[in-house]
Chain A
Amino acid sequence: MSSQVDFGLGLRPDHYEEIVANPGRVTWFEVLSENYMVPGGRPLQWLDTLRRDYPMAMHGVSLSIGSIDPLDRGYLDALKALTERIEPLWVSDHLCFTGLRGINMHDLLPLPYTEEALDHVAERVMRVQDHLGRRLVLENVSSYVTYAASELAEWDFIAGLAERADCEILLDVNNVYVSAFNHEFDAYAFLRAMPTKRVRQFHLAGHLHKGTHIIDTHDHPIIPDVWDLYAEAVRLFPDVPTMIERDANIPPYVDLLAELDTARDIALRVARGRAPKAAE
């Protein structure tokens, strides 16, 4: 990959000191926006310290872009203030709703894939983009239930939204795998349906397989089937930055660096396969 921002990790407080002790092993970090919406102290001190050495993308969990509640003005202002502090590569959140009636469920709840929901979300994405003065990047979530009301495939909903609202896509390869298993669709068809130019970032993560369904837990290493799916994603969408999410059962930083090397190897292998062969 030629771009300077290629393989990154999620910035986690457990790793602050190890990151300083192992400089330059990633080219960027993804930070959880809400963790730094605090007045002061160590969290912002670490953020500013590490930001001097690494570009960062902001990843939020509480935009609740699909909710029927009004957009939270205070939250958007805090988000915008944080963009001014971090000057992020891009700002992402999830294609979902996280609550309504003023109550935050702190979970990424799935939307029905309907024209009504598409209209609703597209209009809100455009207002958020106007407010932030930048494009929003939205992530496909893992989901466990299928709504009777859904009229569209998830991939058509996402692709349609990206075109309609002129936003970008954070393609979580593990989430595609998890939802494909849970909802019995073809994960590869999902990838092929993504509009190439709009895929801004990849997520990779581990999950918990319950036999009848898979739960997106971010507490295990990435499984081989997800690596295979990632290889297809890299083939379809070259030069898209990749990062690994780990949110529980967090291993040492160097272990995640090793997992990230697997992503590098796959991307390199795909790139070599793509390069014109030397004359024999």
Chain B
Amino acid sequence: MSVGGPATNAGSLGDLQRAFQDYLLSGSDRLTASVHDTRKADRTTLLEVYRDGYALRLIEVLANDYPGVMAMAGPADFDYMARSYIAARPSRHPSVRWFGKDLADFLASTPPFDRSPAVAEMARFEWTLGDAFDSPDATPVGADALTALPSVAWETLSFTTLPSLHLLAFDFDVPRAWQRRDEQEPGNLAADRAEAPTSWVIWRPQLTSNFRSLAADEATMLAALMQECPFPELCECLAPSVGESGAVARAASLLRSWVEEGMIGSFRH
């Protein structure tokens, strides 16, 4: 027998569970006939303990995951936003750890929240930070391992980044706004529009997550490195910005800084 076994749809147990879930998800009153008043409280009041608890529990989860979004939106708008998200994307995971994962997509694609793209970017930034926090552990490659390589190896050398590393691009300066999330009254935090779209890298070299902005050519090369392009191709992608002659030196310098910062997970040649 498989451990999962068949779904049971027949019987009053199933009817009752479906009615209960429909009540929580959509306010359907089919459940009311199945429960009793007590001498002290009517059944509507008692059922509301579950309905209120359902929303408040998940709103709290989102507030914990998204302090920067809370600081931008303020408690009232955050509450409205969270309730909209809860209704649109009910949890399909055993752990609340993953309940909020679609918030950035939801905000970016759903009116009226899509009118505040900076808030959606903040949500994406915060979710990615959370992702780095408990991503798989890995030891970054040290500089010695690379300097020991024979020069011929560099012709085919390719890299992977740490599993925690994410490359993001923002139109707004949300990472710096995030650093100020506790400084203002909730609702007053604003992220300025950046002069140009800016790339950011988030990664966790040991136990503490880190993030920083990237120069345009650095972001281009890191994206290529993450595609496991060999080193000569990484140099080539820098040529438009620094010229053929400067490309190798720039690529070597960027690679050295990434290794020193603990971003590189492995290499092969």
Question: Which residue numbers of A lie inside 8 Å of B, CB to CB?
Answer: 34-35, 37-45, 62, 67-73, 75-76, 78, 97, 99-107, 109, 111-112, 114, 116-117, 120, 124, 127-128, 130-131, 144-149, 182-184, 211-213, 215
Rounded to whole angstroms, the CA-CA distance of A144 and B21 in the bound complex is 15
Rounded to whole angstroms, the CA-CA distance of A145 and B95 in the bound complex is 25
Rounded to whole angstroms, the CA-CA distance of A234 and B174 in the bound complex is 55
Residue contact B21 to A39, C-beta cutoff 8 Å = no
| Sampled A-B contacts (13; CB under 8 Å) | A34-B96, A40-B136, A41-B137, A44-B137, A68-B14, A71-B5, A73-B2, A105-B21, A105-B90, A106-B58, A109-B50, A144-B47, A149-B16
Residue contact A42 to B133, C-beta cutoff 8 Å = yes
- Closest B residue to A214 using CB positions: B49
Rounded to whole angstroms, the CA-CA distance of A103 and B225 in the bound complex is 39
- Interface window among B38-46, B73-81, B105-113: B38-46
Q: How many residues on chain B are close to A (CB under 8 Å)?
A: 57
Residue contact B6 to A70, C-beta cutoff 8 Å = yes
Residue contact B13 to A68, C-beta cutoff 8 Å = yes
Residue contact A146 to B36, C-beta cutoff 8 Å = yes
Given A41-B134, A76-B3, A213-B41, residue A116 in contact with residue B11 (CB < 8 A): yes
For residues 19 through 69 of chain B, which have their beta carbon under 8 Å from a beta carbon of chain A? Answer: 20-21, 24-25, 33-36, 38-41, 43, 45-47, 49-50, 53-54, 57-58
Any A CB within 8 A of the CB of B97: yes
Any A CB within 8 A of the CB of B215: no
Rounded to whole angstroms, the CA-CA distance of A197 and B199 in the bound complex is 61
Residue contact A104 to B94, C-beta cutoff 8 Å = yes
Rounded to whole angstroms, the CA-CA distance of A249 and B36 in the bound complex is 32
Which of the listed residues B16, B21, B57, B136 has the most CB atoms from chain A within 10 Å of its own CB?
B16
CB distance from A53 to the nearest CB of B (A): 19
Partner of A147, one of B2, B35, B133: B35
Residue contact A182 to B38, C-beta cutoff 8 Å = yes
Question: Which residue numbers of B lie inside 8 Å of A, CB to CB?
Answer: 1-9, 11-14, 16-18, 20-21, 24-25, 33-36, 38-41, 43, 45-47, 49-50, 53-54, 57-58, 90-97, 99, 132-137, 163-164, 204, 207
Residue contact B91 to A34, C-beta cutoff 8 Å = no
- Closest B residue to A150 using CB positions: B36
CB distance from A35 to the nearest CB of B (A): 8
- Closest B residue to A64 using CB positions: B94
Residue contact B134 to A68, C-beta cutoff 8 Å = no
Partner of B7, one of A39, A70, A105, A182: A70
Which of the listed residues B12, B36, B49 has the most CB atoms from chain A within 10 Å of its own CB?
B49
Contacts of A99 in B (CB 8 A): 21, 91
Residue contact A103 to B91, C-beta cutoff 8 Å = yes
Contacts of B24 in A (CB 8 A): 105, 107
Contacts of B53 in A (CB 8 A): 107, 215
Rounded to whole angstroms, the CA-CA distance of A200 and B223 in the bound complex is 54
- Closest B residue to A117 using CB positions: B13
Residue contact B17 to A106, C-beta cutoff 8 Å = no
Residue contact A39 to B134, C-beta cutoff 8 Å = yes
Which of the listed residues B43, B97, B134 has the most CB atoms from chain A within 10 Å of its own CB?
B134
- Closest B residue to A130 using CB positions: B3
Contacts of A38 in B (CB 8 A): 97, 134
- Closest A residue to B21 using CB positions: A100
- Closest A residue to B137 using CB positions: A40
Residue contact A41 to B95, C-beta cutoff 8 Å = no
Rounded to whole angstroms, the CA-CA distance of A67 and B96 in the bound complex is 18
Rounded to whole angstroms, the CA-CA distance of A42 and B133 in the bound complex is 7
Residue contact B20 to A109, C-beta cutoff 8 Å = yes
Contacts of A42 in B (CB 8 A): 133-134, 207
Contacts of B57 in A (CB 8 A): 106-107
Q: Please name the 4 residue pairs, one residue from A and one from B, whose CB atoms are nearest each other, closest first.
A: A40-B137, A62-B94, A212-B41, A41-B134
- Closest B residue to A32 using CB positions: B95
Rounded to whole angstroms, the CA-CA distance of A27 and B66 in the bound complex is 36
- Closest A residue to B52 using CB positions: A215
Partner of B92, one of A102, A107, A148: A102
Rounded to whole angstroms, the CA-CA distance of A212 and B41 in the bound complex is 5
Rounded to whole angstroms, the CA-CA distance of A130 and B96 in the bound complex is 27
Given A39-B135, A102-B92, A149-B16, residue A68 in contact with residue B7 (CB < 8 A): yes
Residue contact A144 to B49, C-beta cutoff 8 Å = yes
CB distance from A112 to the nearest CB of B (A): 6
Residue contact B45 to A68, C-beta cutoff 8 Å = no
Contacts of B4 in A (CB 8 A): 70-73
CB distance from A11 to the nearest CB of B (A): 16
Question: Knowing that A100-B17, A120-B8 are A-B contacts, what are 6 other residue pairs whose CB atoms are under 8 Å apart, sorted by A's residue number?
Answer: A44-B137, A71-B3, A97-B17, A106-B91, A146-B38, A147-B35
Rounded to whole angstroms, the CA-CA distance of A72 and B43 in the bound complex is 32
Rounded to whole angstroms, the CA-CA distance of A40 and B1 in the bound complex is 33
CB distance from A64 to the nearest CB of B (A): 8
Residue contact B13 to A116, C-beta cutoff 8 Å = yes
Rounded to whole angstroms, the CA-CA distance of A39 and B138 in the bound complex is 11
- Closest A residue to B61 using CB positions: A106
Contacts of B17 in A (CB 8 A): 67-68, 97, 100, 109
